Amino acid sequence: MRSIEIFSGAGGLALGLEGAGFESVALVERNRDACATLRLNRPCWNVIEADIREIDFRSFGAVDLVAGGPPCQPFSMGGKANGYEDHRDMFPQAVRAVRELRPGAFLFENVRGLLRPAFSNYVEYIKLQFMYPDFPISKNASWEVNLQRLQKHSNSAKPASELRYNVSIQLADAANYGVPQHRHRVFFVGFRSDLESKWFFPSPTHTEAELWRAQFSEATYWKEHGLKVPSYPGPALRPQLQQTVIPGLFAGPARWRTVRDAMAGLGDPGVKSVWQNHVFQPGAKSYPGHTGSPLDEPAKALKAGDHGVPGGENMMRYPDGTVRYFTVRESARIQTFPDNYIFSGSWTESMRQLGNAVPVALAEAVASSIASHLQPYGRRSHLQSAR
């Protein structure tokens, strides 16, 4: 099955699509360093360094899936949250890609800040545009007026020939899918209505309860890492987990993965490290509310600031309270990139790429679920536009 990805960044989503069996037709990205990273790791990929607004998607031919991560800054809790008033809002370009390519399915992701009440009407506007990508949006009217027009259209009788998609919006924590990091992402997934696909977001494969069982009930976690079992039970068990963490109980899903799990085998960073991108970065400091990620929990979400790594972020915290920055290689592991995937650019630029990336394992879980629903339809899933 063929896919096109827009707003590709450093390739987290692209690797997930690759792992799910999609053949990349093109990856569109405007950031030079991110494009260099893509080309360095996958010379066979058709990386197009360009402004998305200049791309004619019809030139790529038929595809089964359109995917991408429109810039998150307009909706990020760490940014100014100007939303639809931010010039970086590229959801209209994502809708255009769907309209011109008419794929069997699409997959777009963004930050959970998009689901804040302040953006609820605009999220409805985005969803309705994805549902009816051929609907003409008036450039002479505000988005609120266009939303009303779309709502009216959605409630009216529609011709059978109209291009329509069944759209789902799902919030997911990457830690629940094998990623050693709490990273909440919103997914917009749509299937073309003629495919009649009853799709559901994949169920979590990893749980907090299983981590607590491994650490404080059966103590297998510490033995896995060659450590002595702590003499104290750690933080008090959360009430909702107390009855779940029972020794000898039948095994459920896998446990959450931790920072310590992600770092296994890397060793301390240094200039002479055998691992690429694994170099110590000085200057890490704790701030109130920004104290780094504990070793024995999933990491806090990696951040990507406009002017480098934000203060107090992207750090690991040792049991004695000291902190240091994650190296690029450690951050790549936290984002579940393979160890042979190399990042181009300075530490600051590499961390920005990683802070903007989709965790590979989460991307693959969602993409694999979509692929399994597209396969039965064969060539019907990449319906070419008649225009």
| Catalytic residue set | 72
Q: In what order do the strands lie in the sheet with 184-192?
A: 47-49, 23-29, 2-6, 65-68, 105-111, 184-192, 165-173
Pairing status of strand 184-192 against strand 165-173: antiparallel
Task: Give DSSP secondary structure letters for 151-218.
Answer: HHHHTS---TTS--EEEEEEEEEGGGGT-SB--EEEEEEEEEGGG-----PPPP-EEHHHHHIIIIIS
> For the chain, first and last CA: distance in Å?
23
CB neighbour list of residue 374: distance below 8 Å, 6 or more residues apart: 1, 64, 65, 104, 105, 195, 197, 381
Task: Give DSSP secondary structure letters for 97-165.
Answer: HHHHH-BSEEEEEEEGGGGSGGGHHHHHHHHHHHHSTTSPPPTTS-HHHHHHHHHHHHTS---TTS--E
Q: Say which amino acid occupies 350.
A: S
CB atoms within 10 A of CB 276: 14
As a whole number of angstroms, the distance between CA 1 and CA 385 comes to 18
